[in-house]
Structure 1
Amino acid sequence: MSGFRTVMLLSALTALFMALGYTLGGSGGAVIALLVAAGMNLFTFWNADKIVLRMHNAREVDAQSAPEFYSLVQALSQRAGLPMPRVYVIDQDAPNAFATGRNPENAAVAATTGLLNMLTRDEVAGVMAHELGHVKNRDTLIMTMVATIAGAISMLANFGLFFRGGNNENGHGNMIATLLAVIVAPFAAMIVQMAISRTREYGADQAGAEISGNPRALASALAKISGRAELIPNPVAERNPAAAQLYIVPVHVSELFSTHPATEKRIAALEEIAQDMGQNGGPPPMSVPSQTSTRASALSPVASPATAPKRRRSALDPHGR
């Protein structure tokens, strides 16, 4: 049902784009709008991951530079039956994560240092399982297409302020129709974009719970980072608000205009999934090394022995030097 709803919403967004083109330029405008949408989607199909990662100044890590984090993603990928994605870390205090790439074979996942330093290993596993859920469901491609068409609608609407289309001899009526189109179309595109994004977030939560086998860890992570992500400035999202749909939690809270479902609703849904897994004997959670009272960061999740100095490890200094 989720996949069918996504297809219908994406079709509605494309139809809206063509309708706006028709309003501004008649049948020729509709055809041009469709060709523009196809061209933009083709470009983003091949380049979206590079654009997104460069936008965030993400740095790629591997088994040598971030062994704990990398091995965690590797274990989750194997558990999900996915190819190993490229793994990135973003030097940013705002706690968040996202996935990108045109397909599972060319996927990348990224997490901020703020998230990695804030959460436990189980919680980071839940977050990264959620992002791999996006990859498995091919949401990264869908959301890239959605963002591209929505952006094109806004651009076309701006052009519509200077051009009039159609063959209506009533110039006054035609101008009113054009003005209505350029005002309503971007708003309608935003609503459809949010509806698609919310649908995919619920699907990724479900997939992430199945991959990690620990829905409550993801719920705990969402509860921790949602409030912090709202308070800590996110320079990328401030420069480009369209980036907000990438993240696991929204950077600005407004249930009506958010690209994500309310965090409380997602946590409630995850609690139901956890109960169902308990009843049905779902997959076991990711095995996690036992931890002592010393808190460890996600990039170095194994805590020091009790006899070691009680110095807190950071994501950038996993050995506590």
Structure 2
Amino acid sequence: MNTIKTGMLLAAMTALFMGLGYLIGGMGGAMIAFVVAAGMNLFAYWNADKMVLRMYSAREVDEASAPNYVRIVKRLAQNAGMPVPKIYIIDNPQPNAFATGRNPENAAVAATSGLIRMLSPEELAGVMAHELAHIKNRDTLTMTVTATIAGAISMLANFALFFGGNRNAGGIIGSLALAI
């Protein structure tokens, strides 16, 4: 069901993006907005997980480097009947965890070193079960598409300001970018 919701969100946001492109540059602006949105969506679909992991300087771990953490994630994934995602640690004292990836076969989970140190194995299992649920329900794809389109609208607002789109279009785009 989330795949259908993601498709509908993608279509609606692309239409909005094209409408804003039309306000800025007429039919040509709408077509450019469509091409940019399609390109960004394809790029994000295939690379968003790698980008976010790189942004946080996450390092992939295995049972030799983080035995308890990896065993917890593997056991939870097997119990959920899903493929084991790639498992990462982010060297940061702040407690945090997230899931990323376009589908269960191409997913990753990451936890900060602070979270792993702070929680008992049972608590860590609860957090990682939550992250695995995001993967299983394909929430990560929805979040990726939403973030990509929000970034595209923000980029469009910058183009409007830089290239002198009419004041009304710039104001509308700026308001939408701030709302997102």
Q: TM-score, normalised by structure 2?
A: 0.90
User: What CA distance in whole angstroms lies between the structure 2 residues aligned with 1:39 and 1:6?
Assistant: 17
Cα shift at 1:11: 3.8
Q: Is the 8 A contact 2:109 2:131 kept in 1?
A: yes
Cα shift at 1:110: 0.6
Q: Is the 8 A contact 2:6 2:141 kept in 1?
A: no
Q: Show the counterpart of 2:172.
A: 181
User: What CA distance in whole angstroms lies between the structure 2 residues aligned with 1:7 and 1:184?
Assistant: 25
User: What CA distance in whole angstroms lies between the structure 2 residues aligned with 1:66 and 1:164?
Assistant: 53
Q: Secondary structure at the match of 2:84?
A: coil
Q: Show the counterpart of 1:110.
A: 110
User: What CA distance in whole angstroms lies between the structure 2 residues aligned with 1:7 and 1:45?
Assistant: 12
User: What CA distance in whole angstroms lies between the structure 2 residues aligned with 1:71 and 1:176?
Assistant: 56
Give ranges in structure 1 of 5+ residues lacking alignment. 166-174, 191-321
Q: Show the counterpart of 1:290.
A: none
Q: Show the counterpart of 1:120.
A: 120
Q: Secondary structure at the match of 2:40?
A: helix
Q: Which runs of 4+ in 1 moved over 4 A?
A: 1-10
Equivalent runs, 1:1-321 vs 2, <5 Å: 8-163=8-163, 175-188=166-179, 190=180
Q: Is the 8 A contact 2:73 2:125 kept in 1?
A: yes
Cα shift at 1:7: 5.3
Q: When you count helix as a share of all residues, which structure comes out higher? A: 2
**Greater CA radius of gyration, 1 or 2?**
1
Q: Secondary structure at the match of 2:18?
A: helix
Q: Describe the superposition over 1:264-296 as per-residue Cα deviations: whole angstroms up to 9, x where unpaired.
A: xxxxxxxxxxxxxxxxxxxxxxxxxxxxxxxxx
Identity %: 63
Partner AA of 1:186 in structure 2:
A
User: What CA distance in whole angstroms lies between the structure 1 residues aligned with 2:104 and 2:2?
Assistant: 19
Q: Describe the superposition over 1:75-105 as per-residue Cα deviations: whole angstroms up to 9, x where unpaired.
A: 1001111101111111100100011122211
User: What CA distance in whole angstroms lies between the structure 2 residues aligned with 1:47 and 1:177?
Assistant: 34
Cα shift at 1:116: 0.9
Cα shift at 1:49: 1.6
Q: When you count strand as a share of all residues, which structure comes out higher? A: 2
Q: Is the 8 A contact 1:20 1:185 kept in 2?
A: no
Cα shift at 1:68: 1.2
Q: TM-score, normalised by structure 1?
A: 0.52
Q: Is the 8 A contact 2:2 2:138 kept in 1?
A: no
Q: Is the 8 A contact 2:103 2:138 kept in 1?
A: yes
Pick closer, same or farther for the CA change 1:107–1:3 going to 2, 3 Å.
closer
User: What CA distance in whole angstroms lies between the structure 1 residues aligned with 2:167 and 2:135?
Assistant: 43
Number of corresponding residues:
180
User: What CA distance in whole angstroms lies between the structure 2 residues aligned with 1:106 and 1:176?
Assistant: 43
Partner AA of 1:182 in structure 2:
I
